[in-house]
Amino acid sequence: MIALQSSHHDPPYSFVESSIAQDGRFGWFLAMWHPEKSLQLEELGAELKLSIRNSDANTISRMEVEKWLQSFFVELNWKLYAHLRKTDLQEKGLSVFFGIVYEHELFFVQFGRIFCALSDGKKLRFVGSKYRDYQMQTLKKLNLLGYADEDIKVPVHRMFIGENHRFIAISGNLCGRVFETQSDLATLDHYIESFAQSDNPLWLILDGKTHLIKPRRKKLSRLWISFIVIIVLTLLATAYMLFGNRFLDRALHRTRMNVQNNSVLRLEQIPDNLSVETKNFLKYLDRIVNLPARNIELDILWSATLPYQVTSPPVFSLNTIYLAADHNLIAFDKKSRELIWKKSFSAQINSIFYADNVLLVCLEDDSSFGFKDNGTQLWEAELTSIHTNLGSLEPRQVVQADDPRLDRAITVVPSAKLISIFDAFRGENLSTITFKQELHSLSAYDNYGTCFYAIVDDGLICIQLKIVN
């Protein structure tokens, strides 16, 4: 349901009117605002209230509400136009908000300088007309009710107000002061209420709540029960005639024969029979329970030819792949696979590592460097490093911490021309991918991209690990 959390108006400039059902499942809300103070506004406000109260707003259905709102406010515009032409008001039009609520669903229309927003406590979004540039609009573009001497367009907005959500309708003179200065949405309604003493304030705050009164379940009357019984008996009689005489008896007889045809096991035969019949089932169940995932497959996601000979296994960060080629360090973007930056050194690169958001580059002359993802050098130092053998292909594990799709660890086994996914617990090969050229090196598992990066001959290949579980 939707409840009225807070409202404020300043007669005769403005007013707020509402009507809510006892169970909170239906209601309507009306608000009017005007920048001028005049006794004539009281007459116009009374006319507006009377038109709503005498309308079909309390009986209109959810299916018809949008069409009803459009036709009703087109007629109301002409009615107010006739009154406003006779007044001394400079702004011959009213700012009006009217909404009809069905449980958590709100249908509303807005005219002029009343604007709306919806807050879930974390994010605030504006709905309906935009308030930021309303002061630059002409009176005609503001769509004031009763201003136009023609049939107006009435946009109907449909909004779902969930539990603990706040729907706010507020006058334009408060919008900038409220929404541009308040960042804590949890206390937004209290902040709005602090403007009660400002010049001509108007607000209406609706709060999404759970149902306070559950609707009663309708019980079937005796007449309806009798009607349903007659319909069921009629359908059974019709089916009996369509399928032939005594078809129920024949169906029961066949069922009895099928049951009697099955041999009955003696008590001492039950354990042996269960062990034979459930052997395959237990084997299948054991496979389901103990497999790392229901389906694992290696697939080539993309490949790229390299114009140089890579001399160190590839490493990667969140968005970048790093390759070492003799004296050169090259960085590629993962998505576009385009060269981002390149560094050249006086000595050959022994190894590259990525740790703590820093790329560590170790050279053959025992010097080392640290780089950011964008290629900015962080430091330079002396560090004795071990030369990384590009041709060494060692098995490695991918565990559940690396990929939550896994129920248990898998072993990645690279060799000269293929990569296999192996279940070490069961001794089972789950998937294999084969290359035409020689596999030189394989990166660690990229748990962000769910893939490996392989150097095959003169190319870089991205191998995706597909897991269905």
Handedness of CA 187, 188, 193, 196 (dihedral sign): positive
Residue 315 has pLDDT above 70, yes or no: yes
State in words which class domain 311-382 has: mainly beta
CA 174/CA 202 separation, integer angstroms: 8
| Strand 367-371 with 377-382, pairing | antiparallel
Which comes out higher in pLDDT, residue 133 or 333? Answer: 333
The neighbour count for residue 431, using CB atoms within 10 Å, is 16
* pLDDT at 51 (0 to 100): 93
Residue 381 · residue 371 · CB < 8 Å: no
* pLDDT at 12 (0 to 100): 83
Question: Which of helix, strand or coil describes residue 412?
Answer: strand
* pLDDT at 218 (0 to 100): 64
- Residue 106: which of 20, 46, 33 has the closest Cα? 20
Question: Which of helix, strand or coil describes residue 417?
Answer: coil
| Residue ranges of E strands in 26-82 | 26-33
- Chain-centre distance of CA 238, in angstroms? 51
* pLDDT at 382 (0 to 100): 86
Q: What is the pLDDT of residues 7-61, one digit of tens each?
A: 999 888 899 999 988 877 899 999 999 999 888 888 899 999 999 999 989 899 9
| Strand 114-119 with 105-111, pairing | unpaired
* pLDDT at 251 (0 to 100): 59
Residue 265 has pLDDT above 50, yes or no: no
Contacts 24+ apart (CB under 8 A), 304-310: 304/337, 304/459, 304/460, 304/461, 305/458, 305/459, 306/458, 306/459, 306/460, 309/458, 310/390, 310/440, 310/441, 310/455, 310/460
Residue 408 has pLDDT above 60, yes or no: yes
Question: Which of helix, strand or coil describes residue 318?
Answer: coil
* pLDDT at 398 (0 to 100): 92
Domain residue ranges in the chain? 2-208, 311-382, 396-468
Residue 454 · residue 391 · CB < 8 Å: no
* pLDDT at 209 (0 to 100): 82
CA 358/CA 242 separation, integer angstroms: 80
Residue 268 has pLDDT above 60, yes or no: no
Query: Does 311-382 match 2-208 at the fold level?
Result: no
The neighbour count for residue 347, using CB atoms within 10 Å, is 13
CA 32/CA 9 separation, integer angstroms: 9
Q: What is the pLDDT of residues 78-112, one digit of tens each?
A: 999 999 999 988 889 999 999 999 988 999 999 99
CA 435/CA 414 separation, integer angstroms: 11
Q: What is the pLDDT of residues 346-383, one digit of tens each?
A: 898 888 989 888 999 999 888 999 999 889 999 888 88
| Residues 6 or more apart whose Cβ sits within 8 Å of residue 412 | 395, 396, 397, 398, 419, 420, 421, 422, 442, 445, 452
Q: What is the pTM of this model?
A: 0.47
- Residue range 2-208, CATH number: 3.60.40.10
Phi, psi angles (nearest 5°) of residue 210: -80, 165
Which comes out higher in pLDDT, residue 82 or 223? Answer: 82
Q: What separation, in Å, do the N-terminal and C-terminal C-alpha atoms of the chain show?
A: 40
